[in-house]
Amino acid sequence: MASPDHVLVLDKDGVQLTVDDSVATVTLTNPAKRNAQSPALWRALAEAGRALPGSVRVVVLRGEGQSFSAGLDRQAFTPEGFDGEPSFLDLARGADAELDAVIAEYQEAFTWWRRNDLITIAAVQGHAIGAGFQLALACDLRVVAEDVQFAMRETSLGLVPDLTGTHPLLSLVGYACALEICATGRFVHAAEAERIGLANLVVPVTELDGAVQDLTSALLAAPRDAVVETKALLRGASGRTYEDQRIAERAAQARRLRDLAGIAD
């Protein structure tokens, strides 16, 4: 339940969104199932992104209980699937365009976290498996507890990671490491996660919330427009040449200088 300082914006299908001025918190709220994911949860996550007020600068993603998210609920692969939902087996029998559209809809839960006007932080404890790992990867930053266990288990099920996790994983750890993690499905624990760049910070479980609060405060200290421009520069850098990045930096700085001088474009 939201505290008096937090406004409850959304609470449905295992997802809760609360907002306190410039900070929003998205919480996975089904600890009894280790926050296993479903299409309904994905739609709720996408709705949370659309419901964010313009005042929000930082979004914290967390999971209730001992695990961040144990990944896709295996009920998706049963013939009956979820109530009111086509089973994944039924989807596989459909037309190519229909299947592609459904997967694209599922991916929407994982895309908005990288918006340039937000900085998103995953506070990860316990299991972050498959879709749970990809949800943590969707965020800009990851603060993890010492008991964290990341794993990309899709290949063990005969599948591929398709919830936008491959691009950030490759960017963070490089091709060889990303391939080995995905192809073996092995667990990556806290010390390794920090060493290879998956985790920005590792803390004891009891200190996870405090560490996220400290990081959030630090992120809010700089002027918003400067942070937005900087994030946009960094996100676009991998797709630009060195010279194109120089040009982008100059253009961004010109906008900032004119803004600080009170000169409108």
Distance CA 142, CA 107 (A): 20
Q: Give strand pairing partners of 11.
A: 16
The burial class, CB within 10 Å (0-12 / 13-18 / 19+), for 254 is: exposed
b/e burial code for range 25-51 (CB count within 10 A of at least 16 → b): bbbbbbeebbbbbbbbbbbbbbbbbee
pLDDT for position 30: 97
pTM of the full predicted structure?
Answer: 0.94
Q: What is the 3-state secondary structure (H, E, C) of 15-63?
A: EEEEEECCEEEEEECCHHHCCCECHHHHHHHHHHHHHCCCCCCEEEEEE
Q: Domains of the chain: which residue ranges? A: 7-220, 224-260
Give 35-66 pLDDT, tens digit per residue.
999 999 999 999 999 999 999 999 999 999 99
Distance CA 84, CA 195 (A): 43
Distance CA 246, CA 258 (A): 18
Give 109-140 pLDDT, tens digit per residue.
999 999 999 999 999 999 999 999 999 999 99
Amino acid in position 192: E
pLDDT for position 1: 47
Nearest residue to 165 via CA among 142, 195, 190? 142
The percent of the chain in helix, strand and coil, each rounded to the nearest 5, is 50, 20, 30
Class of domain 7-220: alpha beta
pLDDT for position 228: 98
Residues of the chain with pLDDT under 70: 1-4, 265
